[in-house]
Amino acid sequence: MNSKYMPKMSLVDISKKTTDFKTYLSALILSGIADVLTENNGYTLFVPSDDAFANLDKDFVSDIFSKNKLHQLKLLLKNHIVKGKYDALDLEEIKALKTLNGDLLHLGEYNGVIYVQNAKIVTEDIETKDGMIQIIDEVLIPDSILR
């Protein structure tokens, strides 16, 4: 992607044009959440890079992507999505945001880097017609999946 500002493209369309987060996109499509994102405006996605997924236990990833774990996959994905279109300047001022799961994501800034939980935002402000993408370097796994 040459531009971080693509207001005529949807979140899903932009995701299809990049090689940075194919795993997350596949999960959005498999879970049906991709359809919801294109129907409504104003989401921010904290999208884990493919490298972030590669750093997880391989058995965990294959298990969560299995058809019988669709509910857990949805919980995982919704833990990366918040209502509202937030750019990096907004995120520097916000201490916490509520995910679509209802959980809180804590935000902070250290040495010019914005963190979501313990994940760094590595690519900021990919703006789309229906939201904002912030690429992060870790997968944010909700506690409800780990239990």
pLDDT digit string, tens, across residues 26-46: 888 888 888 777 766 689 999
Domain boundaries, the chain: 5-138
3-state secondary structure of 95: coil
| Angle between the N-to-C axes of helices 70-78 and 22-31, in degrees from 0 to 180, rounded to the nearest 10 | 120
Mean pLDDT, the chain, whole residue set: 86
pLDDT at residue 1 greater than cutoff 50: no
The DSSP H or E segment spanning 64 is: helix 58-64
As a CATH number, domain 5-138 is 2.30.180.10
Q: Please give the pLDDT value at position 7.
A: 59
